Each structure stands twice: as C-alpha cells, then as structure tokens.
C-alpha cells in the first residue's frame, strides 16, 4: 500500500534501516537528475543523513543530449546547495549513439557515478525509482518475453560492478513525492523526453495508465502483483543458492565443476538459474545473460543431449568424466593485459584480485596476462603439485600470470617457485574473487 505523504520521511528512515544503513554508515551518494523523484529522494536522504551523522554526496550527470542540459545541472546544484547538500556534476561527452539512446545514457550514467564513488570510497548509491517505474519496468519486460526473474522488476538492493544500488522509494508513488516537494516549496525539472513517444518507456507509461482504469485495478494492485512476483523469485533464488552451494565446486583456478544430477534432478526454472549462476561466476561479473540463449544451451546439453560442449557469455560448459565444467572460453581473444604498478592492485578479467606487496616503488612495473601455451612451457619444467598438473585442459591457458619484458616471472596461483625470477615467491598475491 502506498505511503501517506505526511509519513514519507518516517517511511524513508525505516526503509534505510531495512537496507542495512545506519549510524555505522560513513558516507553515501544519491543520484539526482533534477526530476521530482530524485529531488524528493535527495531531500529525504539529507534529513536522514543529518540525523544519522552520515556524509551525503549528490551526483548529477550532464548527458549533453539537449542544449539546456548544462544549465539544468547547474540549477540542480543550486537547489541542493540550499539544503547544504554537496553536488558533483559528471559529464557524458559521448559518443552518443543514434539508436538505443536511453539505454546508452543509463549505462554511461552508471559508469560515471560508479567511477566517482570508487574514487571517493563510497560503496552505496541511492536511486529515485518509485512505484510507477517499477510497474513500467515489469510491463516492458513482459512485452519482451522475460521470465519470472525479469518480471519481478527492480530490487531494492542490487549492484553495478562493486557499487551497491539502493532504491528506498519503490513503495512510493510519484504523486506522493511531488506532494512532498510542494509542501517544502521545492521545484523540479520536467524532462521533455519523458513525453517522447519514440521511447518505449513513454509508450508503456500510457499503457500503465490504461490498466489502472480497468475495474478493480489501480497502481497499488499492479504494484502488489510485482511484489508477489519478486517474492516468488527470491524464494527460488534462495533454493537455487542452497543447491549450488551443496553440489557445486568452485575452484580457486577460476572454474566451476558440478555433477550431472545438479541440473537434471530439479525443475527447469531452477536448472536455468543454476546454469546462470555458474556462468556469471566464471564470467566474473553480474552481466545479464539472455534467457533465450540460456534456454537454448540448456535444451541442447540436458534435454536433447545433442551436444557435450557449448559456449555462452565468454564461457564454455563441457561434459567431463565427473559431470560438467564451466570455465572461461578456451582460446578466447580479448583477455586483458593489465600493468601492475609496484605496490599496486588490479582486478584482472573481473575475476582475479592481484596485489603487489612490494615496498620499492622503483622496480619496473609488471604485466598481468593469461599464462597461455608459452607460460605453460615454463611451468611444466618446475615442480607442480598433482592437482596443478592435472588441471582440465580447457582451463589451463586462460589463467593469469605475472610477466616482465616477455618473461614469466611469477605464477601466484601455483605452488611452484620460479627460482630464476627476480620476483619473490610471496610478493604477488592473486585470488579468484569475481564481481558477482
């Protein structure tokens, strides 16, 4: 049920507690476009942060898509300044695509805000999505054939890389937020693109308005359905995680192994989620895998059994003597080469946290890249443990190692010591820690 406007601040404060925020939170960011939703969010967050002693930073993005955008972000900063809210403006200079502009702008916005939060040591970002946004998201996904997870729409807690995205207003309507602003005498900016029928979300907003005119229907009943879908999806997520943890082996060498029964002896919906979880873990990031592609892979491997190996999302799933292995796609091009500065740290391929513990900053920087066949020629001359020598062939070449001027100088995942290397055995730390 929608929150009564006079109780909005109390509802917000309670929601922040349920999101895990409170006195121990040092700082938090809030995304502010200047629209009514985000302006109301900023004001609610300011009172909460002031009461809790939390540093609040507003982030406003100039997408440079309209001539007036620069003046709008200045106006937002001025408004927020009246409440003592510090606001940093970020610019998306492009390139701007000619199609899919809303999705591109969204991705750019999150990239910019994530990078800025990382620089400031902020781990949580508040977003102003509210009840209409939630219902529109469900309808958009329904029109495109989404499954249960997609129809559950937005979660109040999600992630973008290692930034936590928080949506405390999903139970609040836009009208309630505007009443709150008007009671405070606070203006907002109406984005003309919200009325552009060339955009899918605008058309969906019209459909949502029509649905509310049906007998027995209104925004709250539609929101109730979304909430019930989300409840069912969370239950499946919990059961999936329990089954995954019980039956799946996650190797420190960056691959997943599981028995055939994990997939074949459970309902199809759970099997698809298990496969998605395994692929995301090996891929190293929480990028969405298209459900249609996942269903195709599941059908070929486990229903029609016409294949014993398939690739998807940069990963390969292959039949083995003990079940199945999910690993990085062998021979995949585009695996990164990262420079590791002395005393620095990098996340390699979104999967491996690599840290150089050297104190001497004058030593030549190192490079982190995959071992490949040339690296294995060096490793095979050394004393490896049996488990290391018997790594699945599909896994071996995509593992990372440390190089200097074309020479393998450290392989921190392995037990061997490269005696000819100038790199001390314990200097480089490397841990499989994917961002999912």
| φ, ψ at 413 (rounded to 5°) | -75, -15
Q: Mind listing the pLDDT tens digit for each residue in 44-97?
A: 999 999 999 999 999 999 998 888 999 999 999 999 999 999 999 999 987 888
pTM: 0.84
Q: Mind listing the pLDDT tens digit for each residue in 372-381?
A: 988 999 888 8
Cα separation, 436 vs 431, whole angstroms: 15
The number of helices, as runs of H, and strands, as runs of E, in the chain is 15, 18
Cα separation, 55 vs 353, whole angstroms: 29
Q: 5-223 falls under which CATH superfamily?
A: HUPs (3.40.50.620)
Domain locations along the chain: 5-223, 248-328, 338-432
Per-residue model confidence as pLDDT tens for the chain (436 residues): 556 555 899 999 999 999 999 778 899 999 999 999 999 999 999 999 999 999 999 999 999 888 899 999 999 999 999 999 999 999 998 788 888 888 888 889 999 999 999 999 999 999 999 999 999 999 999 999 999 999 999 999 988 777 899 999 999 999 999 999 999 999 999 876 665 555 676 788 888 889 998 999 999 999 999 999 999 999 999 999 999 999 999 999 999 999 999 999 999 999 999 999 999 999 886 667 899 999 999 999 999 999 999 999 999 999 998 899 999 998 777 788 999 888 888 889 888 999 988 776 656 778 999 999 889 998 888 888 899 989 998 899 899 999 988 888 888 899 877 765 556 567 888 999 876 6
Cα separation, 99 vs 198, whole angstroms: 11
First-last CA distance in the chain: 32
């Amino acid at each position: 049920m929608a929150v009564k406007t006079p109780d909005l601040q109390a509802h917000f404060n309670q929601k922040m507690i349920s999101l895990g925020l409170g006195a121990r939170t040092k700082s938090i960011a809030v995304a502010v476009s200047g629209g009514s939703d985000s302006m109301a969010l900023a004001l609610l967050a300011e009172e909460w942060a002031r009461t809790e002693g939390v540093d609040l930073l507003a982030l406003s993005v100039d997408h440079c898509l309209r001539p007036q955008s620069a003046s709008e972000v200045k106006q937002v900063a001025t408004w927020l300044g009246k409440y003592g809210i510090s606001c940093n403006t970020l610019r998306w200079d492009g390139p701007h695509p000619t199609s899919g502009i809303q999705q591109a702008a969204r991705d750019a916005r999150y990239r910019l805000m994530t990078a800025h939060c990382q620089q400031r040591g902020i781990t949580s970002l508040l977003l102003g999505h509210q009840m209409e946004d939630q219902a529109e998201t469900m309808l958009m996904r329904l029109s495109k054939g989404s499954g249960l997870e997609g129809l559950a729409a937005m979660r109040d807690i999600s992630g973008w890389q290692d930034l936590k995205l928080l949506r405390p207003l999903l139970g609040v309507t836009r009208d309630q937020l505007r009443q709150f602003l008007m009671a405070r005498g606070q203006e907002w900016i109406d984005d003309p693109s919200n009325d552009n029928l060339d955009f899918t979300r605008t058309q969906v907003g019209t459909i949502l308005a029509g649905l509310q005119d049906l007998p027995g229907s209104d925004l709250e009943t539609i929101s109730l359905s979304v909430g019930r879908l989300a409840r069912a999806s969370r239950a499946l997520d919990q059961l999936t995680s329990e089954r995954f943890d019980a039956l799946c082996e996650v190797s420190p060498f960056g691959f997943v192994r599981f028995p055939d029964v994990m997939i074949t002896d459970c309902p199809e919906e759970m099997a698809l989620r298990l496969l998605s979880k395994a692929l995301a873990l090996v891929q190293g990031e929480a990028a969405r895998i298209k459900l249609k592609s996942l269903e195709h892979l599941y059908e070929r491997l486990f229903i029609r059994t016409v294949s014993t190996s398939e690739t998807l999302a940069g990963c390969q799933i292959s039949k083995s003597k003990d079940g199945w292995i999910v690993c990085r796609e062998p021979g995949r091009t585009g695996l990164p080469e990262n420079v590791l500065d002395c005393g620095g740290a990098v996340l390699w391929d979104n999967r491996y946290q690599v840290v150089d513990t050297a104190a001497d900053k004058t030593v030549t920087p190192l490079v982190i890249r995959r071992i490949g066949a040339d690296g294995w020629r060096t490793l095979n001359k050394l004393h490896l443990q049996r488990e290391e020598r018997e790594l699945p062939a599909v896994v071996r070449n995509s593992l990372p190692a440390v190089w200097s001027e074309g020479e393998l100088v450290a392989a921190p995942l392995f037990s061997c010591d490269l005696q000819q290397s100038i790199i001390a055995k314990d200097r480089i730390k490397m841990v499989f820690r994917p961002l999912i």
